[in-house]
Structures are given as C-alpha cells and as structure tokens.
Amino acid sequence: MDHGAILSSSLTYVKETCRPDRWFYLFIYLLINAVTLCIVPLFSGYLYRIMEADPGIPAVSGIKDLFCKGWRMNIAGVIYALPALLITAAFYLLITGFTPIPSNSPESLGPENAAMLMGLLLAFIVTLLLVSLLISLISTLGMVRMTRNGKIREAFNLREILASIKTIGWPDYVAAILILIVCALAFSIILELIAFAFGILLGTFGSLITMFLFLWILIIILLAAAFGVFSARYMALVYDNANTT
C-alpha cells in the first residue's frame, strides 16, 4: 500500500470538493448535524456518498437521499458503540456495588476497597481501550463496505471485513489507521491554535466579541467539514486497496 499516494490523493480530493459553492452546503449540512445532534444527519449522508464506489465528487443536492444515508451511518455507528457502552455500564454497576453511600471519597472506602476500586478502574481503562481499538479497526472498513453494498448489515460482515484487511495486510492497514489518527491529532492542534489566537483577539478587542465568536465558529465548522471529507475519502481509498492488491 502506497500510504503517501493515498494521503496525497485524499488531500487533493478535499481541495477539489471544498470549492466555495459546495463548501457552503457542507457548512450548512454539518451545522444541521450538530444542532440536531445527528437527528438530521445531512453531512453524514454526504460522507456516505463520498465512500460509495467511485463517486467522483458527489452532488450536494438530494436532501432526502442524504437524510436516509446519514441515518444508515447513525445506526451502524450506534451499534458499533454498544460494546463500549456495555463495558462502561458494567463498570458502573461494579463500582456502585461496593462503594459506600452517600460518601464515595477515597478516604471512606478503606484500604482494601480503595485498592479494589483502583484495580477496577485500571481494568476498565485497559479493557475499554483494547475494545475501542479493535472496534475502530473493524468499523472503519465496515462503514465503507456498507456504502459499497448499500445495506446496513454489511457494516457488520466480519468475515468479509477481516478478509479485506488480510488482503491489504495487517501492518499496512494499521499503519493507515495510525496515519489517519496522526492527521486527526494535527487537526485538533490546529483547532487549539485557532482557539488560542481568538482568545488573544478577544482579550485585545473585547468590544468585538460577537464578531470574533462568529468567525471562530465559522472557521471551525468549515475546517471540520473539510476534515470529514478527507477522512471519508482516505478510508475509501484504503478500502479500494483491498480490491486492487
């Protein structure tokens, strides 16, 4: 797998997709996604279109189609999140089973219970991280597979997903995921720098706080839309590598 070529192609795709006229729609779709808490997942539907087989640059029109495809993404995402939610719930039940009520401070537990609590907490963190990592490796390609087949159940076709990863090669696939994680971290750092810059501007020009807040939100949503497009295209190309290797 040529990781550099995939990364470069994904960046070029973002440049071609996020033209001012189309970026306006992506901004609106992402804003609707956020405001409605993904109940109206138009932006998710657009990412679905990007991951479909050889889509070129998808049209931004077709609200009904975007809504339906966005909900496919929602349903698959919720199902993939269930293991982590169940682990969290189990940990909560274990904690409440021996933690004194109403006081739950470390001093009130006693040495043995405090040690048990720390052990459970460590086990919870390790288990959650491992499960989340495994689910991420599977769900990432699972989502792309769903878009290619048009059926939600294909997002959970473990046999075919693992076969695709095997074709790509586990080292190459894990490296691809790590590159995407690094890109996400870089994107987070950029957002932090923007927030810091606007913090300085607000401290200097406090009277213009409304304008600065509007610009800050505008920039964040535009960048988030671009990164969403990048991630969807990147994983689509990784998935395609399983069919060309």
Summarize pLDDT for 164-180 with one digit per residue, the tens: 999 999 999 999 999 99
Its domain, for residue 167, covers: 3-244
List CB contacts of 4: < 8 A, sequence separation 6 or more: none
79-116 b/e with 16+ CB inside 10 Å = b?
ebeeeeeebeeebeeeeeeebeeeeeeeeebeeeeeeb
pLDDT tens sequence across 54-66: 768 999 999 999 9
Least confident piece of the model among 68-77, 94-103, 139-148, 164-173:
94-103
Q: What pLDDT is attached to residue 98?
A: 56
Three-state SS sequence of the chain: CCHHHHHHHHHHHHHHHCCHHHHHHHHHHHHHHHHCCCCCCHHHHHHHHHHCCCCCCCCCCCHHHHHHHHHHHHHHHHHHHHHHHHHHHHHHHHHHHHCCCCCCCHHHHHHHHHHHHHHHHHHHHHHHHHHHHHHHHHHHHHHHHHHHHCCHHHHHCHHHHHHHHHHHCHHHHHHHHHHHHHHHHHHHHHHHHHHHHHHHHHHHCHHHHHHHHHHHHHHHHHHHHHHHHHHHHHHHHHHHHHHHC
Quick one: pLDDT band at residue 117, thresholds 50, 70, 90? Answer: confident
Q: What pLDDT is attached to residue 207?
A: 63
Can you tell me the distance from the alpha carbon of 34 to that of 44, in angstroms, rounded to the nearest whole number? 11
Look at residue 211 and tell me whether its pLDDT is greater than 80. Answer: no
pTM of the model: 0.87
Phi-psi region of 101 (alpha: psi -120 to 50; beta: other; left: phi over 0): beta
Total domains in the chain come to: 1
Are 220 and 187 spatial neighbours (Cβ–Cβ below 8 Å)?
no
For 112, phi and psi rounded to 5 degrees? -65, -45
Q: What is the mean pLDDT of the chain?
A: 87
Quick one: pLDDT band at residue 97, thresholds 50, 70, 90? Answer: low
Stretch 26-34: mean pLDDT, rounded? 94
Can you tell me the distance from the alpha carbon of 75 to that of 77, in angstroms, rounded to the nearest whole number? 5
Look at residue 101 and tell me whether its pLDDT is greater than 70. Answer: no
Higher per-residue confidence, 205 vs 127: 127
Return the residue matching tokens 């990412």.
47
Quick one: pLDDT band at residue 102, thresholds 50, 70, 90? Answer: very low
Stretch 231-238: mean pLDDT, rounded? 95
Q: What pLDDT is attached to residue 143?
A: 96
Q: What pLDDT is attached to residue 61?
A: 93
